Amino acid sequence: MWFDQLIFALVLAVMVALLALRRVSPTMGVVGALGALFLLGLIDSTQLLVGFAGPAPATIACLYVVAAGVDRAGALDRPIRRILDRPSGSALNRLLLAAAAVSAVVANTPIVAMLISPLTSWAERQRIRPSRVLIPLSYATLLGGMLTLIGTSTNLVGSGVLTSLGYDPIGMVEPLRVALPVTIVGLVVIFVLGPRVLPDRGAGVDNEVERPYTVSFRVVANGPLIDRSVADAGLRDLPGMYLVGVEREGELLAPVPPAHELRGGDLLSFAGQVDRVVELQRTPGLVFEENHHIDALDGAHGWFEVVVGPGSSLVGQTIKEAGFRSRYQAAVVALHRSGSPVDGRLGDARVRVGDALLVVADSGFRDRWKDRSDFLLIRGRSEAPPALTWMAPLSLLILAGVAGLPLIGLVSVLKAAVLGAVAMVLAGVLTPRQARDSVDLNVVLLIAAAIGIGAGAESIGIPSRLADVLLSSFGQFGLWGSALGIVIASLLLTELVSNAAAVALVVPMAVRAAEQSGGDVRLFALGATLAASASFLTPIGYQTNTMVYGPGRYHFADYLRLGIPLTLVVVIIMPVMMSLD
């Protein structure tokens, strides 16, 4: 047995080393380790497949679909704007508090993706560098995600590992027992220290100057902008965006006075930077003039900038005449022309050589057209795809069902997630292809493989040995000391490898440590799981940390400024909560 344990430990050590050195992706590392253990005969077929047969991977896949539907509908955009439009003194703290709360029921990755642009724009209006607000955003969503079972995939992995060890799965709000005080104190630390310790990084300069684009929006009939003045609707003083004119029943009004009242069907023409175009399209009550073309696109899609070449068949034709959508499987939403602005409707503008177009297309657009003469340049952009704001209430209702039905005991978390994913498709918020594309299969495979490794480690007795070592080192300090050792082990591993891999290794050890020391098994398992989510020290420890790295112009060590105090909060509070009777 000891020889098998040694070989098993060596496989895990190689996996940890490769992941820590970033030589392989987390998915490849964990799945590769699981396959190696099976080929070496250290785990059997049941342990190999236990993670794939369990509820965690399917639950996470369905939650990806639900989160994509909420994001696609722009359901959180209007509340975000209301929060940021309040007096600036407390707007940031209110937004971070709201982001933490929403992260308890929606995956934090899409939340951060949705908030980066509006929060950066707000910071610029308040003369605040984005570097002072984006790390707090990431950390607030990490803290909020700890609060419920579905707040983060790490909690679902921990539940899966715990189930594979013969215990009941983690309940929907059971993480509150350990996470609530950590989240509250952590948010206070962010509010107090964030503005003081984070650096004032410059906004930076892109290699090429942002081109001013012309874009047209329709006012939605019976939407929230009807009978509101331009100024009251917040369309007058937009950073990086200028309202050029309003067309109503063929009559053009330019310039537009602030008191002009909007009506359904009004055509609003704006000129501004491309990132502002992307942000403005998420305003409730506005849709692109060419929105019907966007709706006709199937599958996951995003933004591209293209420059028309001299050999393009588009030259001399209007976008409508050229049949752009059917020809390129893409929709034009904005146009930039050097030297002279574009007057009138975008679809009626005749394309010239050198015109830059902002288009919405599927991910294969670049590969299909990069070697053709139609476009001189094709550049993908990272902003979120256009939102279907009229679907926002429905998507929120579906989300409420996913979170609420398990809470009141009507269905399991898995059934609620499946119902939510199916509802998003049947309601038309997502097409079947968009739902499929929203699932990150790498994460699903990573989670399933991590559960298998945890089950295999338990069967061969490794967690018991590690628990013995842990208790001999920290057990002299009693139950609190054992809990402290579990938290420290989880924190270290989650920075070295992935969250899922850390949970797979530490939860079995936490269970055995609790059994041997007389602690509460569920509290120890929760502590090990939640500590693996507390990745505050590096930009590569968690996806949201990486997402804000570029927009905030951060340096690697900047994360330590706020990350060290937050990690200390975890180390001090979590072992106390784990050692309660």
Q: Token pair of 226, please?
A: 């009807």
d(CA 373, CA 315): 12
- Per-residue pLDDT at 181 exceeds 90: yes
pLDDT digits (tens, 9 = 90+) for 276-303: 777 777 777 888 877 666 666 665 577 7
Cβ atoms of 355 and 334 within 8 Å: the answer is no
Q: Provide the mean pLDDT of the chain.
A: 81
Alpha helices in 104-175 (DSSP H): 108-125, 134-145, 153-164
What backbone phi and psi angles, to 5 degrees, belong to 116? -60, -50
Q: Token pair of 128, please?
A: 């605040």
d(CA 56, CA 405): 17
pTM (predicted TM-score) = 0.67
Cβ atoms of 531 and 478 within 8 Å: the answer is no
C-beta neighbour count of 509 within 10 angstroms: 26
Structural domains in the chain, sorted by start:
302-329+339-380 (3.30.70)
What backbone phi and psi angles, to 5 degrees, belong to 332? -85, 130
Instruction: Report the candidate in 491, 533, 574 with the shortest Cα–Cα distance to residue 155.
Output: 533
Confidence at residue 412, expressed as pLDDT on a 0 to 100 scale: 85
d(CA 440, CA 459): 30
Model confidence at 204, pLDDT cuts 50, 70, 90, reads very low
Instruction: Report the candidate in 355, 329, 332 with the shortest Cα–Cα distance to residue 342.
Output: 355
d(CA 445, CA 157): 11
Confidence at residue 206, expressed as pLDDT on a 0 to 100 scale: 41
Q: What percent of the chain has pLDDT over 90?
A: 14
CB-based burial, 407-437: b 16+ in 10 Å, e otherwise: eeeeeebbbbbbbbbebbbeeebbbeebbeb
Average pLDDT over residues 342-371: 77
DSSP 3-state of 238: strand
Bridge partners of residue 358, in order along the sequence = 305, 334
- Tell which phi-psi region holds residue 45, choosing left (phi > 0), alpha (psi between -120 and 50) or beta: alpha
d(CA 400, CA 34): 36
pLDDT digits (tens, 9 = 90+) for 84-138: 766 555 778 888 998 899 888 877 776 776 677 678 777 877 778 888 899 999 9
pLDDT digits (tens, 9 = 90+) for 361-408: 877 787 788 767 788 777 776 555 665 666 778 888 998 888 888 878
Q: What single-letter DSSP state applies at residue 408?
A: T
Confidence at residue 350, expressed as pLDDT on a 0 to 100 scale: 84
Cβ atoms of 431 and 425 within 8 Å: the answer is yes
- Per-residue pLDDT at 566 exceeds 90: yes
DSSP 3-state of 223: coil
pLDDT digits (tens, 9 = 90+) for 184-198: 999 999 999 988 898
Confidence at residue 498, expressed as pLDDT on a 0 to 100 scale: 67
Kindly list the distances between the CA atom of residue 114 and the CA atoms of 50, 71, 119, 445, 541, in Å, as whole numbers in the listed order: 35, 7, 9, 25, 20
3 state SS for 439-507: CCHHHHHHHHHHHHHHHHHHHHCHHHHHHHHHHHHHHHHHHHHHHHHHHHHHHHHHHHCCHHHHHHHHH
d(CA 217, CA 276): 13
Confidence at residue 390, expressed as pLDDT on a 0 to 100 scale: 65
Confidence at residue 467, expressed as pLDDT on a 0 to 100 scale: 61
Alpha helices in 381-431 (DSSP H): 392-407, 413-426
- Per-residue pLDDT at 310 exceeds 90: no
Max mean pLDDT among 18-27, 131-140, 458-467 falls in 131-140
What backbone phi and psi angles, to 5 degrees, belong to 25? -75, 160
Instruction: Report the candidate in 310, 282, 306, 117 with the shortest Cα–Cα distance to residue 213.
Output: 306
d(CA 333, CA 559): 37
Confidence at residue 564, expressed as pLDDT on a 0 to 100 scale: 94
Average pLDDT over residues 519-542: 86
Confidence at residue 208, expressed as pLDDT on a 0 to 100 scale: 41
**Residue 171: burial class (beta carbons within 10 Å; 0-12, 13-18, 19+):** middle
Q: Considering Cα of 241, then 247, then 252, then 257, what sign does the dihedral take?
A: negative
Instruction: Report the candidate in 417, 426, 438, 415 with the shortest Cα–Cα distance to residue 391.
Output: 426
- Per-residue pLDDT at 423 exceeds 90: yes
Between these two residues, 165 and 274, which has the higher pLDDT value? 165
d(CA 226, CA 306): 34
Confidence at residue 202, expressed as pLDDT on a 0 to 100 scale: 59
Average pLDDT over residues 432-450: 80
First-to-last alpha carbon distance for the chain, in angstroms, is 35
d(CA 390, CA 102): 20
Between these two residues, 295 and 561, which has the higher pLDDT value? 561
pLDDT digits (tens, 9 = 90+) for 216-231: 888 888 878 888 888 8
d(CA 526, CA 154): 11
d(CA 545, CA 555): 12
Cβ atoms of 201 and 106 within 8 Å: the answer is no
